[in-house]
Amino acid sequence: TPVNQAAAVKAPTLPDAQTVTSVTHWTDRLFSFRVTRPASLRFRSGEFVMIGLMGDPHPETGKQKPLLRAYSIASPAWDDELEFYSIKVPDGPLTSKLQHIQVGDEIILRPKPVGTLVHDALLPGKRLWFFSTGTGFAPFASLLREPQTYEDYDEVIITHTCRDVAELAYGAKLIEDLKADELMQELIGTENLAKIRYYPTTTREQSPKMGRITTLLENGTVFADLGVPAISPKTDRAMVCGSLAFNKDIQALMEGYGLKEGANSEPGHYVIEKAFVGDGV
Ligand code: FAD
Ligand code: A2P
């Protein structure tokens, strides 16, 4: 009956509240979670939003203010839910709390998506590179599930560099599932999913491919391994998401190949976004 239905819907207790629908812990430093999507939210795959929780009550007034941080939406624009991939900073104001969220809990989500890691900011090309470190994989988790990625390019190369093998797990599983999932095969096309080349590397733990992606680009290992020509503004486009130091080093490499930075207002050969602000944990 309508009465029972009304009782079943929990009244939101936070402004811009969304409900957590699943949580997966990947390592003691990394987790991902999914939340309900506001009906009115439109975004482009690769964009980020502000999310968070209510902060602690003010010691005198008892008032609580939202504690918000920028987060890439890791799910594609067509998805019913929103996915996020998060670090756990032990004494981080937000993530020290956010890491404890459970199914049914609420988070705050400001429905104002923005960002430069979008197809609109790139000129047409043949080969698309996604360069990521750490949680910088998140916007590419969205773009890898976006059909336009494959409509626009013949080849899609995703590199992910982490310290340890365990930190690659979220990305590795996402790509494995993406290729095996029947719904994805139907939505994106098996031939399109075959365009994905996944190139994971680690720097502090033994794995099949060791080293910083910057070093592997500089010495030509990446091109030899993948059997592709060196990056050129004629054919290659790139999206970059990692720490400030990583972004700076990749940017210098891209400029060295002759690529020019793009923006929403003026599309170019590559685009960059910070995965976080600061030196890392
Ligand atoms: P903060 O006080 O915000 O950070 C404390 C310190 O932790 C920082 O100074 C930095 O050294 C380190 N740190 C923060 N975030 C990270 C990280 N992701 N990886 C490694 N070290 C970090 N974070 C995500 O986990 N997932 C995302 O998808 C994501 N997208 C972002 C998009 C943009 C455009 C920006 C600017 C940041 C993004 N961040 C993302 C970082 C996020 O906004 C917060 O910094 C993070 O959630 C930690 O919040 P905090 O309050 O616990 O600690
Ligand atoms: P390294 O272990 O050699 O520092 P972090 O956890 O510090 O954010 O780093 C994530 C991954 O990105 C690590 O594998 C790290 O390698 C790599 N990395 C950090 N800075 C750079 C950079 N400037 N250029 C290339 N790779 C980087």
Model confidence over 195-213: pLDDT tens digits? 999 999 999 999 999 999 9
pLDDT of 7 above 70: no
Pick the ligand that lies closest to the CA of residue 72: 1
pLDDT of 280 above 80: no
Distance CA 64, CA 57 (A): 5
Nearest protein CA to atom 27 of ligand 1, as residue: 71
pLDDT score of 15:
75
What phi, psi does 196 have (nearest 5°)? -75, 125
pLDDT of 13 above 80: no
Q: Which residue has the tokens 């290729």?
A: 179
Pick the ligand that lies closest to the CA of residue 273: 1
Cα–ligand 2 centroid distance for 163 (angstroms): 7
pLDDT of 87 above 60: yes
pLDDT of 12 above 70: no
Cα–ligand 2 centroid distance for 92 (angstroms): 20
pLDDT of 104 above 50: yes
How many residues are listed for the chain in this entry? Answer: 281
pLDDT of 1 above 50: no
Nearest protein CA to atom 5 of ligand 2, as residue: 280
Rounded mean pLDDT of 218-227? Answer: 98
Contact 163, 205 (CB under 8 A): yes
Nearest protein CA to atom 36 of ligand 1, as residue: 276
Atom of ligand 2 at shortest range from CA of 245: 23
pLDDT of 6 above 50: no
DSSP state of 210: B
Nearest protein CA to atom 15 of ligand 1, as residue: 276
Nearest protein CA to atom 13 of ligand 1, as residue: 280
Contact 142, 62 (CB under 8 A): no
Q: Which residue has the tokens 């020509």?
A: 229
Q: Which residue segments constitute the domains of the chain, with CATH numbers given?
A: 2-114 (2.40.30.10), 119-274 (3.40.50.80)
Mean pLDDT score across all residues of the chain: 94
pLDDT score of 231:
98
pLDDT of 140 above 60: yes
Output Rg (C-alpha) for the chain, integer angstroms: 20
pLDDT of 107 above 50: yes
pLDDT score of 279:
74
Residue from 63, 65, 83, 64 nearest 73 by CA: 83
pLDDT of 225 above 90: yes
pLDDT digits 0-9 by tens, 24-76: 999 999 999 999 999 899 999 999 999 999 998 899 999 989 999 999 999 99
pLDDT of 95 above 70: yes
Cα distances from 96 to residues 21, 93, 125, 238, in angstroms, run 20, 6, 41, 33
Pick the ligand that lies closest to the CA of residue 277: 1
pLDDT band at 11 (very low <50, low <70, confident <90, very high): low
Query: Which residues, judged by CB distance below 6 Å to any ligand atom, belong to the binding site of ligand 1?
Result: 48, 69-72, 85-87, 89, 92-96, 134-135, 138, 273-281
Nearest protein CA to atom 16 of ligand 2, as residue: 203
pLDDT band at 22 (very low <50, low <70, confident <90, very high): very high
Beta strands in the chain (DSSP E): 17-25, 30-36, 48-54, 66-72, 81-87, 106-114, 127-133, 155-162, 196-202, 236-242, 270-274
The pTM of the full predicted model, rounded to 2 decimals, is 0.95
Which residue out of 163, 215, 277, 281 has the highest number of ligand 2 atoms within 8 Å of its CB and is therefore the one to mutate? 163
Q: Dihedral of the CA atoms 69, 75, 81, 86 (nearest 10)?
A: -40
Atom of ligand 1 at shortest range from CA of 72: 28
Distance CA 259, CA 253 (A): 9
